[in-house]
Structure 1
């Protein structure tokens, strides 16, 4: 991890449980990055007894019954009109939707795409390799395209692409002990976003989660983005203050 980001994160909430989020600049572009370490309570959320959560507020309301709350959260992958996940989705060891390995239209189908997996540590794995490996995940979400694959940028990313959006994604350290969740605070293209993960954060593998609808919940930054209802949400769970 870049020393500047480590200092920013460590100084933001010293000793706090759950992800630490901080501003991060790369090549003149502003981002917000939330770091999660293996062993923290990182979960995926889709629906409760009343249906799809759809918002950070609804997840927090459900966690309140456990005396807990979100430490941070963001949208966790693409979804259909009914808010159901596109591709693999695993929650607390239960497979809700199946892995998709075929190519197709849109960003999800821009192969290689991948899976973010939470097990003993963290992993971002190319989807077809994931299918062959049969990796066990307590939580998993599939999205695409991959941004960084074994230290290399996705081969179809275009450096000067005019297609820019606010985007969010997740990158994982080589040892699988750290996951970085990042959202751009201005519109960026895929290539810039991927290089931020690889060159700025040192991620060995990184996965695009979504764009244009990307939102972040980071209470220590006074941030709780709102908008249309979301499908899958990823976040840390901490004791309620």
Structure 2
């Protein structure tokens, strides 16, 4: 808004934000969801800088791109003690680790798990065996697990009264891949509640769990920049 010499105020249009984030109360829990137009925004995965040092935090990620604005960021999957990605990780066309399709310990091994695949024009969540079969041409990709929603159905192992509750985060994608919705719970929830939020409220046909307990969100439009653990893979939008 500006004031003219005549004393009148004129409202000037501001550029639309690359990401829309909102706090949502659903089924007795609190969530924050950030919606990205994957067909037009610069949505990327980030792990290491040019010197091959793990970036690790939202502040350091923003510093890596001084000529751009970090509009949104979130931790993007599980990582080892050295913060190397668990499972498939592909960034800017370079694969840093391979896909894992065997079951195993922990949430990652709670099959089916899945892969988030980014191109210059869309974002899709694939179940891992489906990803191997289809071999999509991803620019960036990250494997995590378990899947939260698979073709409209909750992961078969989720229990409504499951006692394991954490702050959790993940991503769901629209059927056409044009929209990616990233969500984090603001209170501890079980897998069933988190998956149901994606399936029934966000209505994403496929959704993938990123992590729990270390879950973090950077959403400047909400005045939010979570801190805590040093992170491994991150996902964000630059504008």
TM-score (norm 1): 0.91
**Aligned position for 1:118:** 118
Residues 1-50 of structure 1 show CA distances to partners (whole Å, capped at 9, x for unaligned) of xxxxxxxxxxxx97423211111121121100000012210011001134
The correspondence of residues 133-152 of structure 1 with structure 2, limited to 5 A, is 133-152=134-153
Match of 1:162, SS state, is coil
Distance 1:16 1:85 in 2: 33
Aligned length: 224
Deviation at 1:69, TM superposition (A): 2.2
Question: Whose helix fraction is larger, Structure 1's or Structure 2's?
Answer: 1
Indicate the residue corresponding to 1:59 in structure 2. 61
Instruction: Give TM-score scaled by structure 2 length.
Output: 0.91
Give 5+ residue unaligned stretches, structure 1.
Answer: 1-12
CA distance in 1, matches of 2:147, 2:155: 6
Distance 1:133 1:90 in 2: 16
- 1:197 corresponds in structure 2 to 198
In 2, Cα distance between equivalents of 1:192 and 1:228: 24
Between the aligned partners of 1:185 and 1:15, the Cα distance in structure 2 is 29
Q: Structure 1 stretches (4+) deviating beyond 6 angstroms?
A: none
2:34 equivalent in structure 1: 34
Q: Max radius of gyration: which structure?
A: 2
CA RMSD of aligned residues (A): 1.2
Shift of the alpha carbon at 1:226?
Answer: 0.4
Q: Return the alpha-carbon distance in structure 1 between the equivalents of residues 85 and 115 of structure 2.
A: 12
Cα shift readout 1:192-238 (whole Å, capped 9, x = no counterpart): 00000010011000000000000000111111100121000001001
